[in-house]
Chain A
Amino acid sequence: MRRALLLLFMALALTPAVGQDKRPGMGPPRPIAPPASTLAAPIDVPTIEADVSTRSLEVTTGFTGHEIIVFGAIDNSQAPQDHAGFYDVVVVVEGTPFPVVVRKKSDVAGVWINTSAITFASVPSYYAIASTKPIEEIAGPSVLERHAIGFRHIKMTPSPASRGAFKDYELAAFRAAVIRLKKEQNLYVIEPKDGVTFTGRSLFRSTIALPANVPVGPLVARTYLFRNGEVISAHIARVTLQRAGVERVVHNFAFIYPMSYGLIAVLIAVLAGLLASAYFRRQPG
């Protein structure tokens, strides 16, 4: 009986919530600044429209990452037939910005110790970029900077307290470190060549792989249409990424009712210890 109970207990403890149900209805994607020119030139202006395959994602105990597809079309495409590369499309998927502390170690009497730190008030938790060709070939730095496209142009401002305490080159080193570390964690990603592919004249799609460690929070998928190095249309779609299932229950419980969570943790530990020893005492030998 006790043995059966223990097995059941172990099974319960180890079974992750399987499957991630996708709930529809996060509101439709909306275009960034509906082109004012629609009134003036309703037919000729090419505009981009896009959407994401999954608008709502859930992080459950079994979450191992998820692939989202950003797809869309160019309206009023003026590209001549069989002319690949007439337009360029860039897709940026950005996670919720969070404040981040960056620390730098240095050698203090033979021991490597964190000696300086800077706080960036907001750093995107996740940043993936996909494009028809490398972004440097699509547009110049000023255009990319304006639209925060590319790692170099991610908006990252030091918090007021940290401002002025560092020289420009130190600030640049801290910035570079954030990008490097985020890249190592697979949180800042450049989708490989042909990140965005065209099907015919106006349909395009790109696959963005969200890793298992993607921080929870809303994601924004920005899609840009480029022609001759200038953005001629843009579009925003949103994806929610939230905790669900056992994962959500445990996490919320731990943060909202820390005392009850702690008491239950103690109880679980004591019960698990007692159950285990009872189980093994019955074993022969």
Chain B
Amino acid sequence: MNIYLPIAEMSVNAALFLSMGCAVGFLSGLFGVGGGFLLTPLLIFMGVPSAVAVGTGSMQILASSVSGAIAQYRRKNVDVKMGAVLVAGGIVGSVIGVSLMKILRQMGQFDLFVSLSYVTFLGAVGALMMIESIGTLRRTGGHVARKTGQHSWVHGLPFKMRFHRSKLYISVIPPAMIGAFVGFMAAIMGVGGGFVMVPAMIYLLRVPTSVVIGTSLFQIVFVMAVTTLLQAMQNKAVDVVLALLLIVGGVIGAQFGASAGDRLKGEQLRFMLAALVLLVCLRIGWDLMTKPAEIYSIGPVLGGGF
């Protein structure tokens, strides 16, 4: 069944896009990740204009993280104060990202910027995860004891604030910066940014692992809501019909993914996720480096001109 997407302005096979949402939902349920980094490139690959893919992606991420965030909040796994700082930073980052996106689109360099961001972040995160998971697989369950109470440069900054639930007394600058960076990425790449925020909170801020997931979901929900709004206002890049197809597919897929994930070991999952991230990175990188079959492209003239 074909369905005409009002903002992307294209006729697509509804069943195909539903199953795409389903497949990405399955993987995100399996690995416990948002899946934005898979969905957005996939949409672009399917011919959805990259701006619409990115804008609609944020709406889909909002839908898929809201219930998780509420569940975490009920279980008191959210450090609301830390979350608020991350959100404040995130909104600033998102505003900058959406505005930059508008300028880049007018210059015709948005696609390039998206691809380069994907290659950089997926490459870095994928490689780190791969090294770590290979290490853990080798050690077969051996545990590395992390020293507590270690201080780093992060702890020497001003504007200190007490975060009770995280049992931290640190400057607000690092969490605000992390939030801003993630918000910026969210706007430009159409991802939630959990894959950057979670390690940053654990390793840089030393937030206890029990509240990391909940707090990052808390940030993602609010920042994604703001990003969706901004994308709709500034770039007219949110396709509600497309988002609904992806949300419905994604929710169904995530259920199966989560139950499949229960049967696999954590280290195996992390290794597979790392491999997947690197594959997506290589694929996008390959497209950037090889001579395209068509070196010309056409597009509408966007407001502001060239």
- Chain A residues in the interface with B (C-beta under 8 A): 10, 13-14, 16, 59-65, 98-107, 110-114, 117, 119, 161, 173-174, 177-178, 180-182, 212-213, 215, 243, 246-247, 250-251, 254-255, 258-259, 261-266, 268-270, 272-274, 276-278, 280, 283, 285
Contact = CB atoms under 8 A, between A and B. Distances in A.
Contacts of B161: none
Contacts of B64: 273
Nearest to A121: B301
B260 interface: no
B300 to A, nearest CB: 7
Nearest to B110: A114
Contacts of A16: 1-4
B109 A251 contact: no
B120 interface: no
B228 A262 contact: yes
B38 interface: no
Nearest to B71: A277
A66 B234 CA distance: 33
B70 to A, nearest CB: 8
B142 to A, nearest CB: 34
A251 B306 CA distance: 25
Most chain B beta carbons < 10 A, residue from A62, A101, A261? A101
Which of B108, B112, B234 is most buried by chain A, counting CB atoms within 10 A of its CB? B108
Interface stretch (B82-90, B205-213, B286-294): B286-294
Contacts of B11: 63-65, 212-213
B165 interface: no
Contact of A255 (B109, B236, B300): B236
A276 B297 contact: no
Contact of A161 (B9, B290, B299, B306): B306
Contacts of B288: 111-112
A276 B248 CA distance: 8
11 contacts: A62-B2, A65-B11, A103-B298, A106-B295, A107-B291, A259-B229, A262-B238, A265-B240, A272-B247, A278-B67, A283-B255
A177 B238 CA distance: 29
B4 A247 contact: yes
B244 A268 contact: yes
Contact of A254 (B7, B10, B234, B291): B7
Contacts of A212: 2, 4, 10-11
Nearest to A263: B229
Interface stretch (B55-63, B132-140, B147-155, B170-178): B55-63
B202 interface: no
The 5 closest A-B pairs by CB, nearest first: A262-B232, A277-B67, A177-B296, A212-B11, A276-B251
Nearest to A258: B233
B67 A99 contact: no
B66 interface: yes
Contact of A100 (B66, B109, B241, B300): B300
